[in-house]
Each structure stands twice: as C-alpha cells, then as structure tokens.
Amino acid sequence: MKTKQQVIDDGKQAQRLLDDTDLKRFLAEIEQDCWREFKATGVGDADSREAVYMKLRGVELVQQSLRAMADNATIEMKQK
C-alpha cells in the first residue's frame, strides 16, 4: 500500500503526463491509426477488429489510470 506522500507524488506525475502536449498527440495518433485500421478490416475479419479494439482500450486505460492517480492525489492533498 502506498503512503499518502507516494499517492500525492504519483498523482502529480500523472497530472504532468496528462498535461503533456506530446503525450496527448501521441495517444491521439494511436487512436487515429486504430480507427483507420478498423475501417480497413473486412466484414468477416473479427480477429483484426478485436485486436484494434484492444489497442483502443489500452489507450483508454492509460488515460483513465493517469486521471485516477491525479484525482487520488487531489483527494489526499485536501485531507492533509
């Protein structure tokens, strides 16, 4: 289990990443590439569509995890 300070430190770093314009651009490019791949799949190509979906979910999970860490830090700082 993380200490209160570790939660705060991790949250600050997570927020720094969320605010980073390069990371935002990279994640957006990954999403755009995935949608292009998805549109190029054939009707019966479920395996390829599922693989693209998993990539998109990966990007979402990174963003959600960073947001959760930043939010947890905000909560911890308010409780000090």
- CB neighbour burial string for 31-46, b if at least 16 within 10 angstroms, e if fewer: eeebeeebeeeeeeee
- Domain of 9 in residue numbering reads as 4-79
Domains in the chain, number: 1
Q: What is the pTM of this model?
A: 0.88
- Spell out the long-range contacts of 46-54 with Cβ–Cβ below 8 A and sequence spacing 24 or more: none
pLDDT at site 48: 95
For residues 4-31, give the mean pLDDT. 97
Spatial CB neighbours of 58, under 8 Å, sequence gap ≥ 6: none
Task: Note the pLDDT tens digit of each residue in 21-51.
Answer: 999 999 999 999 999 999 999 999 999 999 9
Query: For 59, what's the count of Cα atoms within 13 Å in the CB-facing half-sphere?
Result: 18
Question: In 3-state terms, what secondary structure has residue 43?
Answer: coil
Q: What percent helix, strand, coil does the chain show, rounded to 5?
A: 90, 0, 10
